[in-house]
Amino acid sequence: MTRDIQGIHHTGILTRDLEGLERAYLSFGFTLSPRSRHLLGGRPGRPPVPGCTADRCALFGGSYIELLGIVDESAPDPWHTKAMADEYEGFRLLNLDTDDADAADRRLTDAGLRTSGVLELERGVDTEEGPRTVRARAVHIDPRSTPEGHVGIAQHLTRRYVHQPRYLNHPNGARGLGAVLIVAADTEFDGITNRYTRMVEATARYEGPVAVLETAAARLEIVRASHAGDVLPGEPVPASSCLAAMTVLVDDVDDARKVVESGGTVTQPTGGGFFVSARRTYGVGLFFTRG
């Protein structure tokens, strides 16, 4: 296990219908932070500029789910989010967590991965102390080498302004992200698995058809597209390789299921909890399990 990557920093669901995405996740029993516009740096060393995106987040104290929307088509797009949405909307972003973006960037480059270098991000937020600026640093892996989605490493510089205690209590009892499931085209499976082993410095072990990579705080699961139906029966797959599902850890599975279903969403039982189809979640399978 690497020292510069601890687990999942955040996952991102991308849409041009941010209001609809917000309504859906509120109905699932998530507490969401207020909407916030982004300031984005396009190149290393460049100051952030107002971008075309805004977000609301389901925050868990460590990891979080970002509900990311394109809210101003005329604004600058230094992180190429509009092109990403043009390809398809849904579960498009996976960022792993680091406390040292510079060290992570050097190590990934030394491991043969092409990166963006270290980029700067800012966004304004309200806190109980008054308005503050969230600051973060990110390293993007070259998206031409990540067919499953846009993948990177992120570092909080102002974690306390993101994971504010008033947003950490969720009616569904959510406590964190336990795993991300990646579907890999059969021809790309070995390359994708090898890349993540280099990123997190872990050896893959197999649970049936699923390759599992453990980090300090979460796990990555990779399955061949030809076996995707074994773990995601009947689910839509937007691309031959894609970010397909995430596991939400909750205090009590039965209570969480009641909350989700009370919002009008159909759930399916699983061995350790329940599942909500990507058809109802803006493009990501949601597993809920106790954790």
**Listed residues 148, 167, 186: the one ending a domain:** 167
Same domain, 147 and 185: no
- pLDDT of 42 reads 65
Same domain, 84 and 114: yes
- pLDDT of 160 reads 94
Let me know if residue 139 belongs to a domain.
yes
- pLDDT of 1 reads 41
Let me know if residue 11 belongs to a domain.
yes
Q: Residue 136 has which token pair?
A: 């973060």
Q: What whole-number distance in Å separates Cα of residue 90 and Cα of residue 92?
A: 6
Same domain, 136 and 184: no
Let me know if residue 235 belongs to a domain.
yes
Let me know if residue 94 belongs to a domain.
yes
Same domain, 48 and 139: yes
pTM, entire model: 0.93
- pLDDT of 37 reads 85
Q: Return the CATH number at 203.
A: 3.10.180.10
Same domain, 254 and 233: yes
Let me know if residue 2 belongs to a domain.
no
Q: What whole-number distance in Å separates Cα of residue 192 and Cα of residue 239?
A: 14
The total of structural domains in the chain comes to: 2
Let me know if residue 264 belongs to a domain.
yes
Same domain, 152 and 19: yes
User: What does pLDDT average to in each consecutive run of 10 residues of the chain (291 residues)?
Assistant: 79 97 98 88 73 94 96 87 94 96 94 94 88 93 95 96 96 97 98 95 94 90 97 94 98 98 97 96 98 90
**Listed residues 125, 145, 167: the one ending a domain:** 167
**Listed residues 136, 167, 198: the one ending a domain:** 167
Q: Residue 218: which domain range?
A: 174-290
